[in-house]
Chains A and B, each alone.
Chain A
Amino acid sequence: MKSLVCLKQVPDTETQIKVNADGSGIVTDGIKYVINPYDEFSVEEALRLKEKFKAGEVAILSIGPDRCMEAIRTALAMGADRGVHVCDDAVNSGDPFVMAQTLAAVASNQEYDIIFCGHRAIDDDFAETGAMLAELLKIPQITLVTKIDVSADKKTIICERDIEGGKETVESPLPCVVTSQKGLNEPRYASLPGIMKAKKKPVEKKSLSDLGISPDPKLQAKNYSMPPARQAGKRFEGMEPQDAAKTVVQALRSEAKVI
């Protein structure tokens, strides 16, 4: 089973985001970067498929600046076999179409049975790249997946996916793009031997000219702003539970008018 896992490096969820002075973006100083949590589920699932079939490989595809190498190495330490790092200033990682175009160009030179993407990256929150990649490669997409079962002949896959108000089980021919949702698995931690081995695993660095494409940007952002500030309101401390509860419930009715 050969899996390609698309991996994005994003600010850790505990990061306080600040907008820069001219509103052209966010302040990136001091940000701690991690693997997008949904991509960690992808890495884990690809490793489990390789283990189940006792053959194949897990290749990590990542687009971004030099710092992304750390995320790729982490995935290799978890057990992935090799990496492809597209490191080129001309790729705007905030444009899902450009990301999908670039990933499609990488994928078209690889052998794969399945491509994993996180269902969204928790930085830009677009939730688009996986579906766009699938369309550009003219293969099916199965989004928001929480369970995977690949047939013994590696020709079909059965997935459970989240839909509004429930779940759906779908069957698709391979290859296809699967986007990972929370609940798919519990990602493993990198072991110490894994970390040592990862240092020697191959990571190919590629530029857009290596891939033979020029990016075709579709989206532009400006006027970044912070959400309206929220002030602490009334606080009830040292009161009998009954009195505090009664006061707040009454305030929700007469003051806040939400109940």
Chain B
Amino acid sequence: MANVLIYAEIKAGKIKKSAFELASEGRKLADKMGGELGAALIGPGLEPFAPELAKFGVDTVYTLEAPELEGYNSEYFAQALAHLISETKPEIVLISHTMQGKDLAPRTAAKLGVGVMADCVSFSLDGSTLIGKRPMYAGKCFAEWTAAGSPQIATARPNVLETAETLKSGALSKVGFSVDTGRTTYVTKELNLDTSGKVDLTEAEIIVSGGRGMGGPDYGLLEEMSAIFGSRATVGASRAAVDAGWRKHSDQVGQTGKTVTPNLYIACGISGSIQHLAGMGSSKVIVAINKDPEAPIFTKADYGIVGDLFKVIPEFNKELKVILAE
């Protein structure tokens, strides 16, 4: 019987780091409630993952396997998770606010007739009531949310909660489950995964981002900077650059794109519209390079260089190579 249950997402044969963040947070919550922490695993070949979850404080690892659960599918995974929740009756369920989590959590909750506090960045307890603090309007403001009914389900923003190791038993519990194939669902025909190993914007430690000031689709200077930083970095773009067709939609940072929280955000030729600032304003350190001294981005930047980015960035990259080689 788990008081707190986390859903541990598996990607490419590995448990995602965000699942360990959930386990660490779940452990804290379970300890405060004087209860147990469980983890749900769904899919094939789950047993080897149990020790990894035990390391982050999981008491019981529940595994749900069925032929239909080989690859992710909204309806079948939601059936499996809802089944486990009905069986184990946790008071709190935590899911990562990843692309899969966003798809799975609301469908699971609707099956159970409860709500979801989405995209929380911190949690606290008031007795047994879970309070989830979450950004709204892409981070222009925050509010504290509570959920009625049981269980209280929340999704947590990846890369925000800290991981902490606490060794627990991670005892394996196989849960009998069969998919109700009477419900219609989609089938996956084709997977097209980016094999470049490029880190996703929402998970990058460093983002080099370009806007209208880039003047065109040539992002060579920014790609070069990102490459100097290595695999922890990636290239982003403003809405203006995406709408101009210079960059892919999935590269867009801002209120109608992705909200990002890297350690370092380097804004190149981005003026800093309100919707862009909302999407990257929680970055730890912001550098702005822009020739317009009045650009709003400078009001948020820790380091602002007023100058022509085509002259500044080559020098910046040269200096970076020197410093990072030290």
A and B together in one complex = yes
Q: Which residues of A contact B (CB under 8 A)?
A: 11, 13-19, 26, 37-38, 95-97, 100, 122-132, 134-136, 138-144, 146, 158-159, 162-173, 176, 181-183, 216-227, 230, 232-239, 241-242, 244-246, 248-253, 256, 258-259
A143 to B98, CA, bound (A): 13
Contact A13 B274 (CB under 8 A): yes
CB-defined contacts of A143 to chain B, threshold 8 Å = 74, 102-103
Closest approach, in angstroms, between the C-beta of A213 and any C-beta of chain B? 14
B177 proximal to A (CB < 8 A): no
Contact A131 B304 (CB under 8 A): no
Contact B282 A250 (CB under 8 A): no
A137 to B69, CA, bound (A): 22
Residues facing A in B281-326 (CB within 8 A) are: 281-282, 284-287, 293, 298-308, 311-316, 318-320, 323-324
A-B interface, 10 closest residue pairs, ranked by CB to CB distance from nearest: A218-B115, A172-B186, A135-B110, A233-B302, A245-B315, A13-B275, A128-B106, A17-B140, A166-B193, A131-B106
CB-defined contacts of A235 to chain B, threshold 8 Å = 298, 301, 304, 306
B119 proximal to A (CB < 8 A): yes
Interface size on B, residues (CB 8 A): 96
The 8 A CB mask of B89-112 against A (1 = contact, 0 = none) is 000000000111011011101110
Q: Which residue from A95, A146, A241, A250 sits with its C-beta under 8 Å from B249?
A: A146
With A172-B186, A238-B306 as given contacts, are A162 and B99 in contact (CB-CB < 8 Å)? yes
Chain B residue with minimal CB distance to A251? B303
Closest approach, in angstroms, between the C-beta of B1 and any C-beta of chain A? 24
> Interface stretch among B28-36, B47-55, B58-66, B141-149?
B141-149
> Interface stretch among B37-45, B130-138, B160-168, B210-218?
B130-138
Contact B98 A14 (CB under 8 A): no
With A143-B102, A170-B189 as given contacts, are A136 and B110 in contact (CB-CB < 8 Å)? yes
Chain A residue with minimal CB distance to B104? A131
